[in-house]
Amino acid sequence: MQHKNSFKLICLSLALSSVFASASSLAQDLKIALIAGKTGALEAYAKETETGFMMGLEYLTGGKMEINGRKIKVLVKDDQSKPDLGRTALAEAFGDDKVDIAVGTSSSGSAIAMLPVAEEYKKILIVEPAVADAITGEKWNRYIFRTSRNSMQDGLAAASTIKSGGSIAFLAQDYAFGRDGVKAAKDALGAVGAKAKIVHEEYAAQNTTDFTAAAQRIFDVLKDKPEPRVLQIIWAGPNPMNKLADMKPERFGITLAPGGNILPVMKNWKTYVGTQGTIYYYYDFPKNKMNDWLVAEHTKRFKSPPDFFTAGGFAAASAVYTAISKAKSTDTEKLITAMEGMEFDTPKGKMNFRKEDHQALQSMYHFKIKKDQKNEWDLLELVREIPASELPVPVKNKR
């Protein structure tokens, strides 16, 4: 009888060990969904975001790809920058794939469509790199955090460089990103007390390739207005700056003011020496250990420096890593508690999630195009870093 009882105890012990081992094995899979527009107009942005996100996790985990002892598994999903596909991809990630946290996406329109899904599943969505103000404004919910800058941060940065009088016209894409960008730029000019007057807004379809008619309307309005006359371009994807420059706006005393863009776009601006603008990130501007590693490793692996959205993907990875490490859990409520007001390191330096709307507050950069360029990617000269303290981003949600 004693032997039988001993045998039963051994069997029970083995069974329990198997259960605990199985549970432990399951616990080691930390699932993260990364949703991006890998096909379509924003394909280049998506590729950079994914590269930066994976390099960020590698750096932060020392190559182990683990957080709190749990093996990281990243599920990459392509929403083609389409709102319906973005919504479906996030629902599948939270519902079928049982991911712990999600990051995305490239298009503002798609990101806005994803926001209610995060609320429905009560799971965290870190928005990167979409910028529309509505994401942390009227469309926001408590499960949304954003590492990318928003349109108002873009606008405030640009406005800080145009405080004098004169006349401003806008050329922007006719969808959430473009219209949000113009609204933010107008609000920002008011916020910094700029004396320049906005004289025209021109919106064009995302796939526009011929800007002749749009440019002519802008030139006709600007040419007789008080100087300086500035045409500010708010555009995602292939940028129209070269085509506008070919129409010689300088004939009318008009200066182009582009927002920063990805390196393959900006290298086509080399002939516009001295042209100024503002940008979220340029590899040579931030001076910190994390950026040094990113620049060195990216150049080693890809034969080019990291780009605009590479840094953004890295920042999102840092937010994920810091939040889960701090919360010691992937429980949504514990993550929210950990993330509200959380400071985290990025290639740009410190960012922190504002408690009121979960927008990452961060610095921006005022640049001008270099005269003496040493190589293919030596494009921009830093005028100055614009600290977050000089970018009074208003809280626009209804919390």
Greater confidence, 272 or 363?
A: 363
DSSP string spanning 53-116?
HHHHHHHHTTTS-EETTEEEEEEEEE-TT-HHHHHHHHHHHHHTS--SEEEE-S-HHHHHHHHH
pTM of the predicted model as reported, rounded to 2 decimal places: 0.86
Residues 46 and 107 in one domain: yes
3 is a domain residue: no
Residue 107 is part of which domain span?
26-149+287-362
18 is a domain residue: no
Over the range 319-335, which residues count as b (16 or more CB within 10 Å of their CB) and which as e?
bbbbbbeebeebebeeb
80 is a domain residue: yes
SS3 365: strand
pLDDT of residue 125 exceeding 60? yes
Q: How many domains does the chain have?
A: 2
pLDDT in tens, 251-268: 999 988 888 889 998 988
Residues 58 and 140 in one domain: yes
- The phi, psi pair for 251, rounded to 5°, reads -55, -30
Residues 273 and 377 in one domain: yes
Residues 144 and 158 in one domain: no
List the alpha helices (DSSP H) in the chain.
Answer: 2-27, 43-60, 83-95, 108-121, 151-159, 176-191, 212-222, 241-246, 263-266, 289-302, 308-327, 332-339
DSSP state of 143: T
Model confidence at 177, in pLDDT bands (50, 70, 90)? confident
**Ordered strands of the 167-173 beta sheet:** 197-204, 167-173, 229-234, 254-258
Contacts of 135 (CB under 8 A, 6+ apart): 108, 111, 112, 115, 127, 144, 146, 150
pLDDT in tens, 300-320: 999 999 999 999 999 999 999
Residues 94 and 169 in one domain: no
21 is a domain residue: no
Residues 112 and 186 in one domain: no
140 is a domain residue: yes
Residues 44 and 85 in one domain: yes
Model confidence at 5, in pLDDT bands (50, 70, 90)? low
SS3 392: coil
Residues 320 and 373 in one domain: no
Angle of helix 176-191 relative to helix 108-121, nearest 10 degrees, comes to 90
223 is a domain residue: yes
Residues 315 and 326 in one domain: yes
| Residue 208 in tokens | 């526009």
Residue whose token pair is 């996100």: 53
Angle of helix 289-302 relative to helix 308-327, nearest 10 degrees, comes to 130
13 is a domain residue: no
What is the CATH number for 258? 3.40.50.2300
Residues 261 and 302 in one domain: no
Residues 170 and 241 in one domain: yes
Cis? peptide before 105, omega within 30° of 0: yes
Distance CA 372, CA 120 (A): 53
pLDDT of residue 343 exceeding 80? yes
Residues 269 and 164 in one domain: yes
pLDDT in tens, 129-161: 999 999 999 999 999 999 999 999 998 998 888
SS3 351: strand
